[in-house]
Amino acid sequence: MKLVGIIGTLIFLGIIIQIPLGYIVTTNRNYLPIHIGIGILGLILIGYELFYALKSNKQSVKILNSLALLLVLIQIGIGSNIIENNSETLSIAHQANAYILLIIIGVIGYLTFSTARKEKTISS
Protein backbone atom coordinates (compact mmCIF):
# COMPACT_ATOMS: atom_id res chain seq x y z
CA MET A 1 0.00 0.00 0.00
CA LYS A 2 1.25 3.49 -0.88
CA LEU A 3 1.91 6.09 1.86
CA VAL A 4 -1.26 8.03 0.91
CA GLY A 5 -3.27 4.82 1.42
CA ILE A 6 -1.65 4.14 4.79
CA ILE A 7 -2.33 7.72 5.94
CA GLY A 8 -5.93 7.49 4.67
CA THR A 9 -6.39 4.31 6.73
CA LEU A 10 -4.87 6.06 9.78
CA ILE A 11 -7.35 8.95 9.36
CA PHE A 12 -10.26 6.48 9.22
CA LEU A 13 -9.03 4.61 12.32
CA GLY A 14 -8.49 7.97 14.04
CA ILE A 15 -12.09 9.10 13.63
CA ILE A 16 -13.36 5.68 14.76
CA ILE A 17 -11.34 6.09 18.00
CA GLN A 18 -12.06 9.82 18.35
CA ILE A 19 -15.86 9.55 18.57
CA PRO A 20 -16.07 7.09 21.54
CA LEU A 21 -13.11 8.92 23.13
CA GLY A 22 -15.14 12.16 22.90
CA TYR A 23 -17.95 10.54 24.90
CA ILE A 24 -15.39 9.36 27.48
CA VAL A 25 -14.07 12.95 27.69
CA THR A 26 -17.55 14.20 28.65
CA THR A 27 -17.25 12.25 31.93
CA ASN A 28 -13.46 12.17 32.35
CA ARG A 29 -11.45 15.22 31.32
CA ASN A 30 -8.14 13.36 31.90
CA TYR A 31 -8.47 12.04 28.34
CA LEU A 32 -8.92 15.53 26.85
CA PRO A 33 -5.23 15.99 25.84
CA ILE A 34 -5.37 12.70 23.83
CA HIS A 35 -8.66 13.82 22.23
CA ILE A 36 -7.15 17.19 21.26
CA GLY A 37 -3.92 15.50 20.06
CA ILE A 38 -5.80 13.10 17.75
CA GLY A 39 -7.85 16.05 16.43
CA ILE A 40 -4.74 18.10 15.57
CA LEU A 41 -2.94 15.07 14.11
CA GLY A 42 -6.06 14.43 12.02
CA LEU A 43 -5.90 17.98 10.69
CA ILE A 44 -2.25 17.53 9.64
CA LEU A 45 -2.89 14.14 8.02
CA ILE A 46 -5.99 15.34 6.13
CA GLY A 47 -3.91 18.33 4.94
CA TYR A 48 -1.33 15.86 3.61
CA GLU A 49 -4.03 13.83 1.82
CA LEU A 50 -5.53 17.00 0.32
CA PHE A 51 -2.12 17.99 -1.05
CA TYR A 52 -2.08 14.69 -3.01
CA ALA A 53 -5.79 14.78 -3.90
CA LEU A 54 -5.38 18.22 -5.51
CA LYS A 55 -2.73 16.80 -7.85
CA SER A 56 -4.96 13.88 -8.93
CA ASN A 57 -7.79 14.06 -11.47
CA LYS A 58 -10.48 12.72 -9.14
CA GLN A 59 -12.76 15.75 -8.74
CA SER A 60 -14.98 14.14 -6.08
CA VAL A 61 -12.00 13.22 -3.87
CA LYS A 62 -10.65 16.79 -4.17
CA ILE A 63 -13.97 18.29 -3.05
CA LEU A 64 -14.54 15.77 -0.23
CA ASN A 65 -10.97 16.17 1.05
CA SER A 66 -11.28 19.97 1.11
CA LEU A 67 -14.60 19.61 2.95
CA ALA A 68 -13.03 17.20 5.47
CA LEU A 69 -10.20 19.68 6.16
CA LEU A 70 -12.68 22.50 6.67
CA LEU A 71 -14.88 20.39 8.99
CA VAL A 72 -11.89 19.30 11.12
CA LEU A 73 -10.90 22.98 11.47
CA ILE A 74 -14.47 23.80 12.54
CA GLN A 75 -14.42 20.80 14.93
CA ILE A 76 -11.23 22.12 16.57
CA GLY A 77 -12.89 25.54 16.86
CA ILE A 78 -16.06 24.11 18.46
CA GLY A 79 -13.98 21.85 20.73
CA SER A 80 -11.90 24.80 21.97
CA ASN A 81 -15.12 26.73 22.65
CA ILE A 82 -16.56 23.78 24.62
CA ILE A 83 -13.47 23.90 26.89
CA GLU A 84 -14.06 27.64 27.54
CA ASN A 85 -17.81 27.43 28.08
CA ASN A 86 -19.79 24.28 27.47
CA SER A 87 -23.31 24.61 26.13
CA GLU A 88 -25.91 22.19 24.78
CA THR A 89 -25.77 23.84 21.34
CA LEU A 90 -21.98 23.54 21.05
CA SER A 91 -22.12 19.93 22.21
CA ILE A 92 -24.77 19.06 19.59
CA ALA A 93 -22.76 20.87 16.88
CA HIS A 94 -19.58 18.99 17.93
CA GLN A 95 -21.42 15.65 17.78
CA ALA A 96 -23.17 16.34 14.47
CA ASN A 97 -19.88 17.47 12.91
CA ALA A 98 -18.19 14.29 14.20
CA TYR A 99 -20.70 12.00 12.40
CA ILE A 100 -20.61 14.08 9.18
CA LEU A 101 -16.79 13.73 9.26
CA LEU A 102 -17.08 9.97 9.82
CA ILE A 103 -19.28 9.66 6.70
CA ILE A 104 -17.08 11.92 4.54
CA ILE A 105 -13.86 10.14 5.57
CA GLY A 106 -15.54 6.77 4.91
CA VAL A 107 -16.67 7.86 1.43
CA ILE A 108 -13.17 9.21 0.59
CA GLY A 109 -11.70 5.85 1.65
CA TYR A 110 -14.24 3.92 -0.43
CA LEU A 111 -13.64 6.08 -3.55
CA THR A 112 -9.85 5.93 -3.18
CA PHE A 113 -9.67 2.15 -2.69
CA SER A 114 -12.33 1.21 -5.27
CA THR A 115 -10.65 3.26 -8.03
CA ALA A 116 -7.18 2.03 -6.98
CA ARG A 117 -8.41 -1.58 -7.31
CA LYS A 118 -9.94 -0.84 -10.75
CA GLU A 119 -6.69 0.77 -11.96
CA LYS A 120 -4.73 -2.26 -10.74
CA THR A 121 -7.03 -4.67 -12.61
CA ILE A 122 -6.74 -2.63 -15.81
CA SER A 123 -2.93 -2.39 -15.67
CA SER A 124 -2.41 -6.07 -14.78
Considering the rule CB under 6 A, would residue 11 count as an interface residue with ligand HEM? no
Site string for ligand HEM, 41-60 (x = CB under 6 A): -x------------------
Taken in order 41, 52, 105, 79, the sign of the CA dihedral is: positive
Long-range contact set of residues 21-28: C-beta below 8 Å, sequence gap at least 24: 22/94, 22/95, 22/98
d(CA 17, CA 92): 19
Considering the rule CB under 6 A, would residue 87 count as an interface residue with ligand HEM? no
Q: How far is CA 82 from CA 32, 95, 109, in A?
A: 11, 12, 30
| CB nearer to ligand HEM: pick between 25 and 50 | 25
| CB nearer to ligand HEM: pick between 23 and 51 | 23
- The site for ligand HEM (CB under 6 A) is made up of 15, 18-19, 22-23, 25-26, 32, 35-36, 39, 42, 72, 75-76, 79-80, 82-83, 86, 91, 94-95, 98, 101
